[in-house]
Structure formats: C-alpha cells, structure tokens
Chain A
Amino acid sequence: MQRIDVLYFAWVRERIGLPRERVETDAATVAGLVAELAAREERYALAFADLASLRVALDQELADFDAPLEGVREVAFFPPMTGG
C-alpha cells in the first residue's frame, strides 16, 4: 500500500470538488489509480470519463497514463494547459 498526494486542477478540480487529497493505493500505474478513483463516485467517474482530455504529472513532471507509480509521492490530474 502506497500513500500518494493526488492534486486536481481547473475543471478536474471543479468536477471532483476538491483541490487535493491523500490516497492509499495498490495501483501499479497511473491508469490503475485512475480506475480506482473513477470507481469511487459519480463525480470521479465524470472527471475521468475521457482520458484523452486529461494530462497527468508525477512529482511535477508530465507523464503518461501507463507510467509506474512506484516511488511517486505526488500525482496531479488536469486538462491540457492554456498558459501564455
């Protein structure tokens, strides 16, 4: 069991209704963590309904959904960035 800080930004944060939470997980990959979160409640299922519209960062570096979670302390989910 691994303890991870999960952060949400922009409409992902609004849909789920909180900016961050601590999650205990056995998931081996980001995709596994997403599946666990999406199974929790409707608001999570809605937020994670379309992975193509989401990006993920592991310990503040952009990553892929098949990336391993081993040793990761912070996972962030957000829509494509719109800076500048």
Chain B
Amino acid sequence: MRISVQEADFDAGAEANAFTAGLTGVGAVVTFTGIVRDNGGTLAAMEIEHYPGMTERAIGAMVDEATQRWALADALVIHRHGRLEANAPIMMVATASAHRADAFAAAEFLMDYLKSRAPFWKKEIGADGAEWVAAKDEDEAALGRW
C-alpha cells in the first residue's frame, strides 16, 4: 500500500505500470486519475491546500478500511497539493485484486472518501480572480452508499 501526498507532477501511466509490476495472484487492476478541468478555458490553475499530517492519517485510515472490506492485493493513492495548471493530473487511485468487482468497488470507495474526508481544499484561479470550491451535497451523499 502506498500513499503519496506530493507537490510534484506524476505520470499516471508510469505509476500504473509500476503498481502492476510484481503483483501476484491478481486478475484486476483498476486505476482512476483526476485531472484539473479547464472549465471551458476559464480556469487557469488550481491551488490545493492541505493539512500536513492529518492528510496522510486520513488517507491511511481510508486505505485500511478498504483493505478490510475488499480482498485487495495492493492499493495506491497519490494526491497533489500546491499550484496545478489546467489539464494537469491532481490525483490517482489504483487498486489490485483477484477479481474486478473488489478492485472497482474499493477504487470508488477511496474516491468518494478522498473527496469529502481527506483534508484538501481547492481554489480555482481564473481570469476574474480566485474562488474556493464549495463542497457538493452529492459528494457528501455519496458516502452514504458505503
């Protein structure tokens, strides 16, 4: 299990290959990569603030819960912070399991929890200024299905 909270860019393809290499008894790898949406060209960049210390703890607790609920051979979470340009990768989740159902479910669970329970805050920077992104009710509601 690897968790990386980082400022640096990452290569989602290289990360997926490195994650998959060396796994045994695995029949399914699911990966999700989140990208900075340019909002039709109006968004120049995103600034992501986080709570060092709590961020790693909170993600670690989510990964622990995912490994208890599903038969995972391995899991990976990468989440960036700092200033990110439009179209840059923000975050990535990868899960590996013997069968796809567990890998898909665990990846969705991790995504839902990362959106609402990991201490990150996004600020959108556009031509007209900067604005904090408001949390969405549906993101909070999504936790209810787990």
Task: List the interface of chain A (C-beta within 8 A of B).
Answer: 7, 9-11, 13, 57, 60-62, 76, 78-84
Contacts and interface: CB of A to CB of B under 8 A. Distances in A.
A79 B121 contact: yes
Interface residues of B, number: 29
Contact of A57 (B90, B119, B134): B119
A49 B120 CA distance: 22
A37 to B, nearest CB: 18
A78 to B, nearest CB: 7
22 contacts: A9-B49, A10-B49, A10-B121, A57-B54, A60-B57, A78-B121, A79-B121, A80-B116, A80-B135, A80-B140, A81-B116, A81-B118, A81-B120, A81-B121, A82-B120, A82-B121, A83-B79, A83-B116, A83-B118, A84-B90, A84-B114, A84-B139
Given A9-B49, A81-B118, 19 more contacts: A9-B121, A10-B123, A57-B51, A60-B51, A60-B53, A60-B54, A62-B117, A79-B121, A79-B132, A80-B134, A80-B135, A81-B116, A82-B115, A82-B133, A83-B50, A83-B79, A83-B116, A83-B119, A84-B90
A6 to B, nearest CB: 13
Contact of A84 (B54, B91, B134, B140): B91
Contact of B115 (A57, A78, A79, A83): A83
A9 B48 CA distance: 11
B75 to A, nearest CB: 16
Contacts of A81: 115-121, 135
Contacts of B90: 84
A82 B117 contact: no
Nearest to B120: A83
